[in-house]
A = this chain, B = another copy of it.
């Protein structure tokens, strides 16, 4: 494993951690761009460094980005409230809130989860405007951000339990891209299922596609599986068919960016290829997502 520096309490390969309370809070993220060679924890205390981390892909994965953004609103408001001694329903607070939302949404315009999380924070803000002091409002927003994260953790936990039950008791499972703790608020989606299956005593080995063009499988998934002590073989994406043909794969499990009402799913390039190849080889193909 690479050297760890600047590590927060109890954190190893985690996506998003809020450390401290309301007024001394720090958002801790792993700089995913520097994985797997270095595990560097970014310790963020302001909006713009977080925005930069999203723009630079230092934080990625739809749930992880949205949770980080929810916390980012709090990071932005607290120092303003303390400096300006804002009154209940202050316009300055409203402007600062709107500014934070705008800066965060524009950091990754394609992220649907991010817009959803910001919208949820906005509803919370509007619901309590006029009822709470400015500092109480910040506390309420921090609570909402923590709820968003806890709900994602609970979703991941339940996906992992359901998915683990579907996986074979022994054999190889192929996965693609990165769907672990780095990408979500909890244990991950597809990757959470794999880790949970091992925890339940299933004797599975994972084959992780390297996931061109950005190598999320090689850089992130392989690292997370090694950290979780799950046996993993890294494959170039074009080798998936050959390992299937040799009988080494008993199931394929992937995450999803979105799922349509009719069950169609959108996910990283290469997912459709795996679905066709799994079908050809009579291998079950699972999509693990909220």
Contact = CB atoms under 8 A, between A and B. Distances in A.
Interface of A: 209-213, 236-242, 245, 269-270, 272-273, 276-277, 279-280
B210 A240 contact: no
Nearest to A271: B238
A18 B35 CA distance: 48
Given A212-B237, A237-B237, 5 more contacts: A211-B238, A239-B269, A241-B270, A242-B273, A279-B280
A236 B218 CA distance: 15
Nearest to A281: B276
B269 A277 contact: no
Given A210-B212, A276-B276, A280-B276, A236 B239 contact: no
Given A276-B277, A277-B276, A280-B276, A238 B241 contact: no
Contacts of A210: 212
9 shortest interchain CB distances as A-B pairs? A238-B270, A241-B273, A212-B236, A237-B238, A276-B280, A213-B236, A241-B272, A239-B269, A238-B273
A237 B236 CA distance: 9
A249 to B, nearest CB: 13
Contacts of A277: 273, 276-277
15 contacts: A210-B212, A212-B212, A212-B236, A212-B237, A212-B238, A236-B237, A236-B269, A237-B237, A238-B238, A242-B269, A242-B272, A276-B276, A276-B280, A277-B277, A279-B280
A273 to B, nearest CB: 4
B239 A270 contact: yes
Nearest to A237: B238
A54 to B, nearest CB: 24
Contacts of A238: 209, 211-212, 237-238, 269-270, 273
